[in-house]
C-alpha cells in the first residue's frame, strides 16, 4: 500500500491545523524566471493532482488506531487557483498564505543535494544512527566549554583585518564581513595550516562547492552540468588537501586547538575513530553551514543597529562601560556581559533568521494539540515544517513584531521566555538545535565590539531587502557604509 507524505505546518509550541505545500518545490520557486517558474510549478501540481486521482486516496480522515483526526486537507485542484497569489509574493508572504491553507502533497528528500558536496560518508549520506553520532562530534567541537579556545584567534583575525582600513572611507560592509568570516573559519575551524599556507587555494575550491548549490543541483544533485562538475572536482581536491593535513597531524603527533582536531580525535560509540574522508566531509559541512549564516547575521546586525540610533547608542555606551571595567582590553569574560549587544543580535536574527523554516520528519506516531484545544494525529513518516519567518512574528508572543526592538529580550519583558518553549527558533530547537549558536554569537560580538569601539559608522545604502532568490536568504545587494576612526572608548 502506498503511504503518502504529508507536510504539516506548525508554529512554536503548538501545531497548526494547516499543512505546507511542497517545500522542495514551492520554497524554491523564486529561483526561476517567471516563465520557467510557471511551467515547473504547474507541471508538478498537475502531476500531483493526477496521481491523487489515479490512486483515489481520500483526504483527511480519522486515524483508525486512535480515533483522532488527521489535519484536514483539500483537493489538489484547489492548489492551482493559488498559484497567481503565491508566485507574486516573497517567501514570508507565501508562508503566511500557506499558514492559512490546508493541503496534502508528496515530499522528497530536501537535503539529498548535500551528499555530493560533503560526501557519502557523512550527514545525509549515512544512516540516521551514524548521522546522530556525527552530530555529537560537532557538538563536542563547538560546545560552550571549548569556545574560550577560539576567542584569541578570532580576536586576532578581527584586529588584523580592520587595521587595514584607513582613517576614513567607504566600504561594502556585507563584502567585508564575508571576507572576515572566511578568515575566522579557516583559522578556528580548519587550523593554522590552511590559514597560513593555503587559504587562497582553499577559498577558491570552497567557492566552487558553494556555487554548486543551485536550483538544478537541489533537484538533480548528480546531473552532469558544469556547476556540478566544478563542485565535484573541487571536493576531490579539497579532500586531498585536508586529508594531507589530517595525515600530517596524526603522523607527527601534533595536536592543535581547532575544530578539525576535535573531529580527528572523535570516536564512535563502538570505539572506531573517524576516517580521513569522514573528517574532511564533516569539516566542509561545518564551514558551509556556519560561514554564510554568520556572515549574514553580522550584516543584518549592522543594518539594524545603523538604522536605529537608540540601540546603536545603547550598544556603544555598553562597550564604553565594559572597556572601562576591563581596562580597554577585550576579554572573553567581557563578551558574556554584553547583554545589550546580545539582544541587538538576537532581535536582528528574529527578524532575519538564517533559514526561513525548519523541516523535520516524524520518526514515530504522535498527537498534537492546537492552541484552540483541537487534537490531531501525526502519523509516523510524515514531514513537519516549522516556518521560522512566521513563528518569529507571532503577535501573541512578540509585541509589535514587525518593529526592531531588542528590549523585548531584556529582563523586564523576556517575550521569548514568556511565550513558552520554542518561541524563538532562529537557531532551531530540540535535539537538532544549531550546535554553533554560541560560536556564532561570539564571532558577531567580537566583530561589533571592535567596530563600535574604533569607528564611527553611517549606513549609506537603503536598508537592505532580503534576497529570497538564494537557498540561504541574505541581505540583497551591497551595504555601503562610511567609516571614520576615533579614539578607543574608555
Name the DSSP class of 310. H
Rounded CA separation 355/119 (Å): 23
Given a contact cutoff of 8 angstroms between Cβ atoms, the answer to whether 458 and 481 are in contact is: yes
Rounded CA separation 298/161 (Å): 15
User: Around Cβ 31, how many Cβ atoms within 10 Å?
Assistant: 17
How far apart, in Å, do the first and last CA atoms of the chain sit?
Answer: 72
List beta partners, residue 267: 273
Picking from 222, 239, 219, the residue whose alpha carbon sits closest to that of residue 285 is: 239
Picking from 342, 316, 305, the residue whose alpha carbon sits closest to that of residue 463 is: 305
User: Around Cβ 355, how many Cβ atoms within 10 Å?
Assistant: 18
> Which residues carry a binding-site annotation?
434
Q: Which residues 6+ apart lie within 8 Å of 151 measured at CB?
A: 332, 335, 442, 446
Given a contact cutoff of 8 angstroms between Cβ atoms, the answer to whether 109 and 63 are in contact is: no
List own/partner pairs for 22-25 with CB under 8 A and 24 or more apart: 22/48, 22/105, 22/106, 22/107, 23/107, 23/110, 23/357, 23/359, 23/385, 24/107, 24/108, 24/110, 24/218, 24/219
> Which residues carry a binding-site annotation for heme?
434
List beta partners, residue 385: 9, 359
Rounded CA separation 188/90 (Å): 36
Extended beta strands in 64-190, E state: 168-172
Rounded CA separation 444/147 (Å): 13
User: What does DSSP say about strands 168-172 and 357-361: parallel, antiparallel, or unpaired?
Assistant: unpaired
Give burial (CB, 10 Å; 0-12/13-18/19+) of 211.
Answer: middle
Rounded CA separation 24/308 (Å): 37
- Positive or negative, the CA dihedral 85, 87, 90, 92 is positive
What are the cell numbers at 470? 538564494
- Per DSSP, the residues of 272-297 read PBPPHHHHHHHHHHHHHHHHHHHHHH
CA distances, 86 to each of 93, 383, 443, 444 (Å): 8, 21, 37, 35
Rounded CA separation 490/472 (Å): 39
Rounded CA separation 378/366 (Å): 5
Amino acid at each position: 500500500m502506498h503511504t503518502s507524505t504529508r507536510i504539516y505546518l506548525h508554529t512554536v509550541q503548538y501545531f497548526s491545523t494547516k499543512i505546507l505545500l511542497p517545500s522542495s518545490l514551492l520554497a524554491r520557486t523564486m529561483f526561476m524566471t517567471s516563465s520557467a517558474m510557471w511551467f515547473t510549478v504547474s507541471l508538478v501540481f498537475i502531476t500531483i493532482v493526477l496521481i491523487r486521482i489515479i490512486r483515489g486516496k481520500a483526504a483527511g480522515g480519522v486515524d483508525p488506531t486512535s480515533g483522532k483526526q488527521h489535519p484536514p486537507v483539500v483537493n489538489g485542484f484547489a492548489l492551482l487557483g493559488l498559484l497567481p497569489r503565491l508566485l507574486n509574493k516573497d517567501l514570508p508572504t507565501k508562508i503566511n498564505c500557506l499558514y492559512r491553507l490546508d493541503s496534502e502533497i508528496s515530499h522528497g528528500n530536501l537535503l539529498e543535494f548535500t551528499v555530493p558536496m560533503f560526501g557519502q560518508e557523512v550527514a545525509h549520506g549515512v544512516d540516521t544512527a551514524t548521522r546522530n553520532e556525527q552530530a555529537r562530534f560537532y557538538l563536542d567541537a563547538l560546545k560552550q566549554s571549548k569556545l574560550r579556545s577560539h576567542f584569541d584567534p578570532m580576536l586576532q583575525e578581527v584586529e588584523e583585518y580592520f587595521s587595514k582600513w584607513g582613517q576614513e572611507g567607504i566600504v561594502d560592509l556585507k563584502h567585508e564581513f564575508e571576507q572576515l568570516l572566511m578568515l575566522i573559519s579557516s583559522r578556528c575551524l580548519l587550523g593554522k595550516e590552511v590559514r597560513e599556507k593555503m587559504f587562497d587555494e582553499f577559498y577558491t575550491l570552497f567557492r566552487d562547492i558553494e556555487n554548486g548549490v543551485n536550483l538544478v543541483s537541489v533537484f538533480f544533485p548528480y546531473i552532469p552540468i558544469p556547476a556540478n562538475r566544478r563542485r565535484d572536482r573541487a571536493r576531490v581536491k579539497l579532500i586531498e588537501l585536508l586529508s594531507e593535513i589530517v595525515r600530517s597531524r596524526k603522523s607527527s603527533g601534533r595536536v592543535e586547538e581547532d575544530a578539525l582536531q576535535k573531529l580527528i580525535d572523535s570516536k564512535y560509540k563502538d570505539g572506531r575513530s573517524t576516517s580521513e574522508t569522514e573528517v574532511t566531509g564533516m569539516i566542509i559541512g561545518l564551514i558551509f553551514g556556519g560561514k554564510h549564516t554568520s556572515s549574514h547575521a553580522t550584516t543584518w546586525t549592522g543594518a539594524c543597529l545603523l538604522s536605529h540610533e537608540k540601540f546603536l547608542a545603547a550598544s556603544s555606551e555598553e562597550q564604553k562601560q565594559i572597556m572601562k571595567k576591563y581596562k580597554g582590553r577585550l576579554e572573553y569574560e567581557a563578551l558574556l556581559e554584553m547583554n545589550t549587544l546580545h539582544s541587538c543580535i538576537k532581535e536582528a536574527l528574529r527578524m532575519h533568521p538564517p533559514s526561513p523554516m525548519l523541516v523535520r520528519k516524524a520518526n514515530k506516531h504522535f498527537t498534537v494539540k492546537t492552541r484552540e484545544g483541537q487534537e490531531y494525529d501525526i502519523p509516523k513518516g510524515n514531514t513537519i515544517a516549522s516556518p521560522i519567518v512566521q513563528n518569529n512574528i507571532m503577535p501573541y508572543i512578540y509585541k509589535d513584531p514587525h518593529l526592531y526592538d531588542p528590549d523585548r529580550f531584556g529582563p523586564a519583558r523576556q517575550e521569548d521566555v514568556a511565550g513558552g518553549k520554542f518561541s524563538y527558533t532562529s537557531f532551531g530547537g530540540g535535539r537538532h538545535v544549531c550546535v554553533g549558536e554560541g560560536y556564532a554569537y561570539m564571532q558577531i560580538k567580537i566583530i561589533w565590539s571592535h567596530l563600535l569601539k574604533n569607528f564611527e559608522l553611517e549606513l549609506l545604502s537603503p536598508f537592505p531587502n532580503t534576497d529570497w532568490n538564494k537557498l540561504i536568504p541574505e541581505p540583497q545587494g551591497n551595504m555601503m557604509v562610511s567609516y571614520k576612526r576615533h579614539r578607543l572608548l574608555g
